[in-house]
Amino acid sequence: MDHRDGAPKAPSLPAKRGCLGERPFVSLAEALTWIAFGDALSSEELRAQVEGQRPPNTDSPEERLRKFFSGTDDAAPEVPGAGHFRERRRGLELLAKAWQNLRDGVDRGTVKVRGRLTSKYSLADAHSVDAVELTGNVLAAFSQFDVSTGGIRRQTFGSPGIIWRDDPHSFDREFDAYGDDASAADGYLMVEVEREGLMGIANEVRPSHDHATKNPRLTDAEREPVLTRTGDPGRPSKGYQIYDAEHARRCDAGEAHSKIADEARHLVTWFKEKLPGHDPISSGTVENRIRPRHLKYKAHKKSHENNDTT
């Protein structure tokens, strides 16, 4: 999508294509592509790969709306993506998973994200305000990553978590933003992610992504990760989510340890025995991952114990 004052540029570019720069904070586009593909792409590079090669569209959103209602907009031909998005649907799926992984990291407090709020999703406005830390609640409200700008916006009903210029929902998104729905117009631009925390997240999820991204030409079946669900049937798990699945099963069965540290160590040992060919993540990381569910489990268990004594 194009915007009133042009598509914003990424706040900074990686030191070298494919490598994550050494700066304390990197752009959101770099962060997501590093998690998804192990290949840090700038906002411009990501947009080019997703959209594919086509003549640039210099029309403003207002001009696009005018052409639409006047019937003078010629539908653009289908253009395949490039690079990691040669199979665009698969690439966007991996990008969406990376976005969720990053948001999970913010919820756990293992990574920081910052950005600049603008009421009209304007780069000029973004340059005039200070960057602020974006909490999990903020990212839940602004949960749509906009490939065209590298920013984040409110996810309107029925639209995907990742949106790009030629997405079927793209026009509706612009119509809402510049029409009667003023609440849809705001968003965060110049969004950046803390490098140190990002590396931790990438290391956690990389075992499930490596096989999926080594060769973009693999079929969907060939790309399925090695790790599979071992708890409730029918729900595949990838990467650290396999720990979530086993912990959920143990909580439901009343088998989980009361102390979270003991439970985390048990899950690491269980993982080693269940999947000896895969490196486990640290018990500290597991502990952070399972903390919300474990606290609910302990509270529920204590409530039952109190009821039994009365």
Domain boundary among 164, 182, 199: 199
Per-residue confidence (pLDDT) for residue 182, from 0 to 100? 60
For residue 206, CA distances in Å to 39, 56, 73, 188, 202 come to 12, 34, 43, 27, 6
| Residue 238 located in a structural domain | yes
What pLDDT is stored for residue 280 in this prediction? 75
Q: Residue 221: exposed, middle, or buried by beta-carbon count in 10 A (0-12, 13-18, 19+)?
A: exposed
Tokens 């998690």 belong to: 35
What is the sign, positive or negative, of the torsion defined by CA atoms of 223, 85, 189, 163?
A: negative
Residue 296 pLDDT: 85
Distance set, CA 90 to CA 17, 94, 133, 210 (Å): 22, 6, 31, 14
**Domain containing 271: what range?**
226-309
In this structure, the number of other CB atoms found within 10 A of the CB of residue 77 comes to: 6
Q: Are residues 189 and 108 in the same domain?
A: yes
Q: Say yes or no: 232 and 286 in one domain.
A: yes
Cα–Cα distance between 258 and 260 in angstroms, integer? 6
User: Is 76 inside a domain boundary?
Assistant: yes
In a shared domain, residues 96 and 37: yes
Cα–chain center distance at 271: 25
Distance CA 167, CA 119 (A): 23
**Which residue in this structure is represented by tokens 């290391």?**
203
On whether both 195 and 124 belong to a single domain, the answer is yes
The rounded average pLDDT for each run of 10 residues, N- to C-terminus, in the chain (310 residues) is 42 50 92 94 93 71 67 60 92 95 95 94 91 96 93 86 80 54 80 94 70 40 35 42 83 88 88 75 82 84 66
85 within some domain: yes
What local confidence, expressed as pLDDT, does residue 92 receive?
A: 94
Q: In this predicted structure, what is the pLDDT of residue 213?
A: 43
Number of helices and strands (H, E) in the chain? Answer: 12, 7
Which pair of structure tokens corresponds to residue 145? 């990553």
Q: Give the pLDDT of residue 139.
A: 96
- Supply the pLDDT for residue 57: 64
Q: Are residues 237 and 100 in the same domain?
A: no
Separation between Cα atoms, residue 195 and residue 193, nearest integer Å: 6
Amino acid at 80: P
Give the pLDDT score at 197. 93
Helix orientation angle between 61-70 and 170-178, rounded to the nearest 10 degrees:
110
| Residue ending a domain, choose from 180, 199, 218 | 199
Give a yes or no: residue 207 inside a domain: no
Q: Which is nearest to 195 in space by CA: 9, 15, 43?
A: 15
Q: Residue 165: what pLDDT? A: 84
CA angle 253, 258, 262 (to 5 degrees): 105
In a domain? residue 215: no
In sequence order, the β-bridge partners of residue 209 are: none
Question: Which residue carries 């909580």 as its tokens?
Answer: 251
- Number of independent structural domains in the chain: 2
State how far the Cα of 308 lies from the Cα of 54, in Å rounded to an integer. 69
144/190 same-domain check: yes
C-alpha dist (Å) from residue 139 to 57, 102, 181, 186: 29, 10, 20, 13
